[in-house]
Amino acid sequence: GLPSRVRIHEVGPRDGLQNESAVVPAEVKAEFIHRLADAGLSTVEATSFVHPKWVPQLADAEELYPRLADLTGVRLPVLVPNERGLDRALALGARDVAVFASATESFAKANLNRTVDESLAMFEPVVARARDAGARVRGYLSMCFGDPWEGPVPPAQVVRVCRALTDLGCDELSLGDTIGVATPGQVAGLLTALGAEGIGPERLAVHFHDTYGQALANTFAALQHGVSTVDASAGGLGGCPFAKSATGNLATEDLVWMLHGLGIETGADLGRLTATSVWMAERLGRPSPSRTVRALSHK
Ligand code: HMG
Ligand code: MG
């Protein structure tokens, strides 16, 4: 059956804003995150400690993170690709970090300037030191279904990198459909293949971009396989600057509409979420692509 409760891992401030051509001021980002927390989201991915030239949109992480100090009941994960990133995050008191691997060589090169195995070697001390410092570590895996350069990605290739991230000590793995091409049968197939390797749904999250409008259907397939952590982005913001054809994530509002309709608890307040996405859309100068945001804000 379906889970009775889903933990939403909100990625709008990170995955969403990393892809905006306009750089959003730190104070607006801080207000965005506070509003998302006020809307009942318990996990809000705040920013990335990556090279500022690679992602200028998030170069203000040192300015932003201290503005979130009052959000003590909320988990505020941050992306850290390497030890330099981890040092920056730990210096600010971060307690939730994420490394981000790729199932394909092409995206590992584009996103991290490394081969898949070189990036895993880069993450090894990051995960070990983060855990020693008492932080929880999420391992993202991109291009789990299709890759813009390589086409369809064989599940065995994904399983291999999931196994490696698990062996490094990641507490949770997030399976990314970075360019939003997956369909539900592929999701079921990958979750079955991972289960056969001893990687069960309790330590998995799903991360769907909505390029082909499949993100909700894919999420439903994952729920049927026992996954109960779902990544989503308020208003459907998002994409990836290093993967052509990536669009926004599954919109948090669309996810909440479906989950509440199914009687699944999330703790989220849909009215507050929608108001936040409308507010953010005004700041970004274009409407939210979320169908639910549009429906509720035009009432
Ligand atoms: P590189 O150029 O190979 O870096 O980039 P390097 O290790 O050779 O270091 C070069 C210089 O960068 C050094 O400075 C380092 O100190 C500095 P120098 O000695 O020359 O003066 N440096 C840093 N500075 C600040 N913070 C750091 C840092 N690291 C090195 N952390 C690197 C390698 C990994 C740094 C680069 O490729 C990078 O920053 N990549 C980040 C890409 C990124 O953020 N992508 C988006 C997130 S992933 C995503 O969106 C997918 C996801 O949503 C899931 C899905 O949808 O699939 C998660
Ligand atoms: Mg993403």
Asked about 162 being catalytic, the answer comes back as no
pLDDT per residue, tens digit, the chain (299 aa), is 899 999 999 999 999 999 888 889 999 999 999 999 999 999 999 999 999 999 999 999 999 999 999 999 999 999 999 999 999 999 999 999 999 999 999 999 999 999 999 999 999 999 999 999 999 999 999 999 999 999 999 999 999 999 999 999 999 999 999 999 999 999 999 999 999 999 999 999 999 999 999 999 999 999 999 999 999 999 999 866 676 666 899 999 999 999 999 999 999 999 999 999 999 999 998 889 999 999 999 86
Task: Reduce the DSSP state of residue 148 to 3 states and report it.
Answer: coil
> What is the b/e burial string over 140-170, where b = at least 16 CB atoms within 10 angstroms of the residue's CB?
bbbbbbbbbeeeebebebbbebbebbbebeb
Answer for the pair 248, 208: CB distance below 8 angstroms, yes or no: no
Contact 22, 285 (CB under 8 A): yes
- Rounded Cα–Cα distance for residues 77 and 9 (Å): 9
Pocket test residue of 17, 51, 99, 175 for ligand 1, highest count of atoms within 8 A of CB: 51
Contact 124, 139 (CB under 8 A): no
Cβ-proximal residues to 220 (8 Å cutoff; 6+ apart), any chain: 184, 258
What CA–CA distances, in Å, run from 258 to 27, 62, 139, 188, 248? 32, 36, 26, 19, 18
Ligand 1 in reach of 49 Cβ (< 6 A): yes
Q: Which atom of ligand 1 is nearest to the CA of 85?
A: 31
Integer angstrom CA distances of residue 103 from 142, 157, 223: 6, 6, 22
What ranges make up the beta strands (E) of the chain? 7-10, 43-44, 47-48, 78-79, 96-102, 136-142, 146-147, 151-152, 172-177, 204-208, 229-232
CB 32 near ligand 1, within 6 Å: no
Which amino acid makes up residue 163? Answer: R
- Which whole-number Å values give the CA distances from 6 to 49, 216, 220, in the listed order? 27, 14, 12
Q: Tell how far the Cα of 109 is from the centroid of ligand 1, in angstroms.
A: 11
d(CA 147, CA 278): 32
Complex-level ipTM = 0.98
| Alpha carbon separation from 140 to 44, 71, 106, 267 (Å, rounded) | 15, 24, 16, 24
Nearest to 145 by CA among 224, 199, 215, 235: 215
Tokens, residue 191: 């979750």
48 Cβ below 6 A of ligand 1? yes
Beta bridge partners of 75: 43
Ligand number nearest CA of 56 is 1
5 Cβ inside 6 Å of ligand 1: no
User: Among all ligands shown, which has an atom nearest to the Cα of 238?
Assistant: 2
**Using CA positions, which residue lies closest to atom 9 of ligand 1?**
51
Expressed in angstroms and rounded, the spacing between residue 73 Cα and the centre of ligand 1 is 29
Index of the ligand 1 atom closest to the CA of residue 176: 57
